[in-house]
Structure 1
Amino acid sequence: MKRPGAGQLAILAVLLVILIVTAVWAVSVWNAAGDAVMSTHGWIALGLGTFFSLLIGCGLMALMFFSSRSGHDDAADPFRKRDPPAG
């Protein structure tokens, strides 16, 4: 197995720092809004919105992979080299 290079380690470190900063920011925002009260209807709407967003996202990703495997995307590739016309 090949060891990661210095560039890959630098990118990994930057992404890790971004993840930590985002997590700290999310916790601080969550704690700042601690006094906000959400009704039962709000929790239901939040749960349904999350569920259907994930469902649609996973469904579209599955369609993308199935389309790619079945060859339907080949005709829409503008960078594919085409054979010259015979004649």
Structure 2
Amino acid sequence: MRRLSPGQIALIAVLVALLILTGIWATMVWNSSGDVVMDKHGWIALGLGTFFSLLIGCGLMALMFFSSRSGHDDAADPFRKRREPPAE
């Protein structure tokens, strides 16, 4: 393994600090909103938002997978070596 450069160490330190600060912030928000009651419209909005986010995410991943498999991306990377299919 090669050694990390000082820039990479600084980047990792900043990202770890952001992760820790985000965890502290999330814990504070979670604890301060513990007594808030959500009515049925809030639950409906939460469910629909979750459903449509998953639908869009899965749809985009499927499009990316099929685009990669169909060869449409070959023109975007002319230096990639083509793999020949295995002989049967």
| Same fold? TM cut 0.5 | yes
SS of alignment partner, residue 5 of structure 1: coil
1:19 pairs with 2:57:
no
Q: Deviations over 1:13-51 (max 9, x none)?
A: 322211111121122223333342211331232023113
Please give the residue correspondences for 1:1-87 in structure 2 after superposition, counting only pairs within 5 Å.
2-3=1-2, 5-6=4-5, 7-75=7-75, 77=76
**Mind listing any 5+ residue stretches in structure 2 that lack a counterpart?**
80-88
TM-score when scaled to structure 2?
0.62
- Quick one: structure 1 residues 3 and 59, their matched pair in 2 at CA, closer, same or farther if it must change by over 3 Å? farther
Seen in structure 2, the aligned counterparts of structure 1 residues 62 and 42 have a Cα distance that, compared at 3 Å, is same
C-alpha deviation, 1:80, in angstroms? 5.2
Q: Which moved more, 1:26-35 or 1:63-72?
A: 26-35
One-letter code aligned to 1:67:
S
Structure 1 stretches lacking a partner, 5+ long: 82-87
Count of residues paired in the alignment: 78
Q: Secondary structure at the match of 1:36?
A: coil
Alpha-carbon RMSD = 2.7
| Sequence identity (%) | 69
Instruction: State the 1:11 CA deviation.
Output: 2.8
